[in-house]
Structure 1
């Protein structure tokens, strides 16, 4: 996610992926045609959603084909899905059999879209499906808002993980410092050793959970045959 949150528009041929990309980009970034299989390679745009960098990729439509060039494009579509932070599975709501959701990698963030509701009303009230018409610009704003929310969640989780790792590193460094001081004490400086062990244990406990410092001290000093 270093370069941006990666959103992949995936689906069968002629479901409106390229039109949706152009709507998101607010320009003609992709060629749109009624001819199936127009998109043969990945088309990528960079944009800002809610202050976060986003990479949106339009992919070749997935279908059985003997065309070698189209087959390569479909392979690249599936590769893009593997690398995606979010897959927007676009379908034609009049042709539910074209749904490619089952081809999406397990565990990926997924938004279901049914396009072309301008041709016939969308029936059903599934909260997990966005019924839209890119042509008439119906429902697209709600879809964009949902994508933006997932982008925000993705970056928030990443930042939380980074903060957590930095906090762990700080505790580990302080733990090592305390352990290093133990070796510098003389054999008669048992109290100072004990304090350094307590400090080291406290830093480890801050990462792993509570540690019974007194019990640990009993074990350490008993094994080294010195008084506590």
Structure 2
């Protein structure tokens, strides 16, 4: 069930942002192993072209990462789908996202009806993302802070998704995962990164699975307004 978005004519798109082009992306994602129809419908519905610079809008439905400024990127749709699919396996309701970026991943989660909390260290990116959430009528709680700290006062969370890579799993984040919850994060450095899925059982034990190689920007500490 996809939450009803407040779509404007520009969100519907035309030409290289039209529904036909979006549907071709969905078929590519299916062909590359994404099977959860809820995830596919969310990606079909959320207007990715509104989360990139206007000059890049015609490339929004290519299955590729795109720059959003400040040395950051909007993730490849397949990666967004893969991470979201892995997160949904434990049926979360309350989710923490580390690295708001353009706001696209958070919008996909919110469109799925999840209660989304998102943290971004770059103030300018967060301000733009908040405008996008409001324009689409999505209720996403956001904070300008160091993502490595998480959002402990709002935890624990049923799901945590990290959209930047650290050399190792950040203990402060896994500590905010509720029993029965799932954390999905890229881990690694310049020599290579892998997408990991962690599940915490009722006793607090962690089961880890490697979902394959990925490429993300690094997870940095601290904050900046620009």
Greater fraction of residues in strand: 2
TM-score, structure 2 normalization = 0.29
Greater fraction of residues in helix: 1
